[in-house]
Structure 1
């Protein structure tokens, strides 16, 4: 009788079966590199693939890149340029694609999936589909009910029904949540209809389902000052709230009490990401174009003028040079974009060095950030007179106005200016995965799932129960509804 207790290890499988596992989409570039370094099965040549690939792991990385939605949206020339910029390393290219995709969504950490979003005086945190909030509850932005005015520590939010949260957005007066099901809930001050509900008689103190979007699964929401932008899974854009400057994109200045589709994009193609400033919007389409609409003040629309745009208009500075943009961030007075080669562009008001060009001059159209042109950036984040750029490997650069220490440089004063990109040395060993900055505070998530905050904590927006402000990044702990702090 045959022995039924044969032990067959993974490495004993045929190469084509191993490849099926490696290209399942569940592995990261780091996983593939680890396999390549620890086993000759993944690092050696098996004749299963072209000689241009040095290993099975390398070939698997190339297959994952070819199927990645960000990579698929690029033209052949753009793909070749990115491959060259990654020094012909498929695993590095895959790492770039995965990092960019996660930067405006949840990031994979060793502690699970996480996302951070900072409002004016509060912060939202997703930790494995559960949402926490801290700070001051202006008009219900913390989503803990009318009896809660402040949370000094990250406190779990209760939803009206079992909910797995996939993405959050926060601003001054309201918060928004996208569920894995595609449903959207909002809370906060709805007097401008920014929460998408018809009842404006009182603030919404707990997450409430946006009924007008039932049957329209969403993948992202971006909260502006008195309006909200919703992005459906099909790439359609919906907006609601105040429309004083045309920030709803409907070609007029009429407010919208419930989410209404922006008709313009129906003929353009699917939108892959949206960003909302105080009263303007940036939208990235699948072909890498950037469209802007709303308030033209401070040149934030990127057209070289300060006229309001009542409907979306493509930013020609990118279009003319065939620059494929992957992600954008809309600050209070300036904007930032990340292209397919990991390069960064800034435009708008240059006060305090927020644009990173070594001066305080305004840039009326997008300009390449020369100081970082040799780095492979994976996330950009702009807010009030400051900018952060996260590059490959987890290094975080900051520049602009220190604003209560919210740039994270302990050797600079609370109102100093940093005119060029500078690495946050204290966070260097921790390898940052995501950053979000509010009015005067900033919070980052690291690859190991650790959370660090710095800047103003007067309203407990950093989730510390004792500190009023932090010039240096300080660790935040989620521990049974209470928080502790420790300097890094």
Structure 2
């Protein structure tokens, strides 16, 4: 049984008696919910919450939130109107006041204290006026995206669309960037002219309908223009356009496209809704059913599913749909998230019991990545060159958050076990693992990408690379494997690649880091790891084979 189904089955409500709340909620249901919320709220207040059929909250039962805060004035007024009075309780989401980071902003959205702002060097988020270096698009893995995650490829299958070694897809097109994720079975490549090419699984029209409504687009086709970069979820795609705006297409079931709730899906690009107008975005990333973004000031935004706390707003938003069914208050539009946490200074507690406290200083970020149901972000560089912190939040399965425990986090929380003085440059995420690349070319890893291996609960240096003096420049992780490329043109992979995505020929897995021989000596300008594929932008293709596009189209088209 999956983690999601386990979680939901544990939330199933059973009971009988008088119906007192919408969805056939009984007195027993209300009493149990009141107890789950820590007991601070009287039963009458919990009943009022249920009758409102509004958004539920995560209450004082959260052992990791130590700050007791006042409810929002609007909610307090509602409770008062219902006869429960004004109540304070340990709520991990709403407060009676705006966070310090919000109160410091002026009407124009800038921080009021320039001295605090000057601590961060935000130039890394400003688009370069220089054109990014371009190269050739290369892929390993299958082009038959209909089988990914559904059907195993036999070792004897040698179809033209199964690419067991790195293969050039568009040898005559100068590609600047490639985009996919551990959640996606589709891929985006962006050329020198900012045109976006898409291919892969298109069942939810996450690649659009301009190339028809085919469920599989086997080879790269132009699907959008004026694109700076893209982020891909399981069934949606977010595009960052040249003007800094966000547009999306695909499925919006949980709000992951950032559209209003009545827009369920679209095969054409539609602008995302953002709570702060006239801002420009700089970074984007997608989980399975949620999306995150950073604006040019390094402020975090999120939209989509809230089930595991991946919206970084301090709550899952649980509420009753019926007596035995829970739903979650998802975000249908991008909203800024400005509250960050760190471990409390309590040496008497172990990792499982350690509480967290809110960070009072304003936090700005430079990079973000998403796993299946969690996210990881890297603090923006400091002007004084001091260390940069890493934050993680969402589902804590397999230790992917790096906090030494398998517990969900509802606010971005500092990953404490990274070395002092570490300066990070990039982060990456697999389905249930996390990676950080440092300025000295080292890689730190935690979580799990192979089911046969034990989970790594805290960050560990990838010593197979560091001890051999590899200067890593690019990192990525797919659903079950990890890829790193070095300054000397070595590409290293390890994990499981059932669709040939490791690029090791007939070899489908490697428990230890292994070199991709066809790419040896070739500089990697960009790379991205998906489900069933790894895509590269290589500086020179040398003797790499070229895809027989006509044969692939004939076989899959």
TM-score range, shorter chain: 0.5 to 0.7
TM-score, with normalisation over the residues of structure 1?
0.68
Alignment check: 8 A CA contact 1:402 1:416 kept? no
Q: Cα distance, 1:446 vs. partner?
A: 0.9
Larger helix percent: 1
Alignment check: 8 A CA contact 1:293 1:301 kept? yes
Q: Cα distance, 1:242 vs. partner?
A: 0.7
1:431 and 1:101 mapped to 2: Cα distance? 26
- What SS is found at the alignment partner of 1:356? coil
TM-score, with normalisation over the residues of structure 2?
0.60
Counterpart of 2:246 (choices 237, 249, 259) is 237
Counterpart of 2:142 (choices 133, 136, 139) is 136
The equivalent of 1:452 in structure 2 is 492
2:118 and 2:334 mapped to 1: Cα distance? 30
Alignment check: 8 A CA contact 1:189 1:204 kept? yes
Q: Cα distance, 1:81 vs. partner?
A: 3.3
Alignment check: 8 A CA contact 2:254 2:289 kept? yes
Tell me: CA distance 1:101–1:467, structure 2 relative to 1, closer, same or farther (3 Å). farther
The equivalent of 1:361 in structure 2 is 407
Tell me: CA distance 1:194–1:377, structure 2 relative to 1, closer, same or farther (3 Å). same
The equivalent of 1:301 in structure 2 is 311
1:223 and 1:425 mapped to 2: Cα distance? 31
Counterpart of 1:287 (choices 289, 297, 300) is 297
Alignment check: 8 A CA contact 2:378 2:427 kept? yes
Q: Which protein, 1 or 2, shows the higher relative CO under an 8 Å CA cutoff with sep ≥ 6?
A: 2
CA offset digits 1:452-476 (Å, max 9, x no partner): 1000133211000132311111111
- What SS is found at the alignment partner of 2:465? helix
- What SS is found at the alignment partner of 1:317? coil
Tell me: CA distance 1:75–1:448, structure 2 relative to 1, closer, same or farther (3 Å). farther
1:293 and 1:434 mapped to 2: Cα distance? 27
Q: Cα distance, 1:82 vs. partner?
A: 5.0
Alignment check: 8 A CA contact 2:253 2:264 kept? yes
Alignment check: 8 A CA contact 1:236 1:265 kept? no
For the pair 1:311 / 2:333, whether they are aligned, the reply is yes
Q: Cα distance, 1:310 vs. partner?
A: 0.6
Q: Cα distance, 1:79 vs. partner?
A: 6.6
The equivalent of 1:401 in structure 2 is 448
* Count of residues in correspondence between the two structures: 359
The equivalent of 2:78 in structure 1 is none
The equivalent of 2:178 in structure 1 is 168
Tell me: CA distance 1:303–1:377, structure 2 relative to 1, closer, same or farther (3 Å). same
**Correspondence list, 1:279-428, <5 A:** 279-306=289-316, 307-318=329-340, 321-341=361-381, 342-372=388-418, 374-403=421-450, 414-428=452-466
Tell me: CA distance 1:234–1:97, structure 2 relative to 1, closer, same or farther (3 Å). closer
For the pair 1:196 / 2:220, whether they are aligned, the reply is no
Alignment check: 8 A CA contact 1:133 1:154 kept? yes
Alignment check: 8 A CA contact 1:245 1:295 kept? yes
- What SS is found at the alignment partner of 2:464? helix
Q: Cα distance, 1:189 vs. partner?
A: 2.2
1:400 and 1:249 mapped to 2: Cα distance? 29
For the pair 1:277 / 2:299, whether they are aligned, the reply is no
Q: Cα distance, 1:263 vs. partner?
A: 4.2
- What SS is found at the alignment partner of 2:292? strand
- What SS is found at the alignment partner of 1:352? helix
Q: Cα distance, 1:129 vs. partner?
A: 1.4
Q: Spell out structure 1 runs of 4+ moving beyond 6 A.
A: none
Tell me: CA distance 1:164–1:398, structure 2 relative to 1, closer, same or farther (3 Å). same
**Correspondence list, 1:223-234, <5 A:** 223-234=232-243
Unaligned runs of 5+ in 2: 1-110, 149-158, 317-328, 341-358, 382-387, 520-541, 547-557
Unaligned runs of 5+ in 1: 1-72, 84-95, 108-112, 114-127, 405-413, 484-488
The equivalent of 1:247 in structure 2 is 256
- What SS is found at the alignment partner of 2:315? coil
1:234 and 1:181 mapped to 2: Cα distance? 15
CA offset digits 1:26-47 (Å, max 9, x no partner): xxxxxxxxxxxxxxxxxxxxxx
Alignment check: 8 A CA contact 2:260 2:273 kept? no
2:240 and 2:113 mapped to 1: Cα distance? 23
- What SS is found at the alignment partner of 1:397? strand
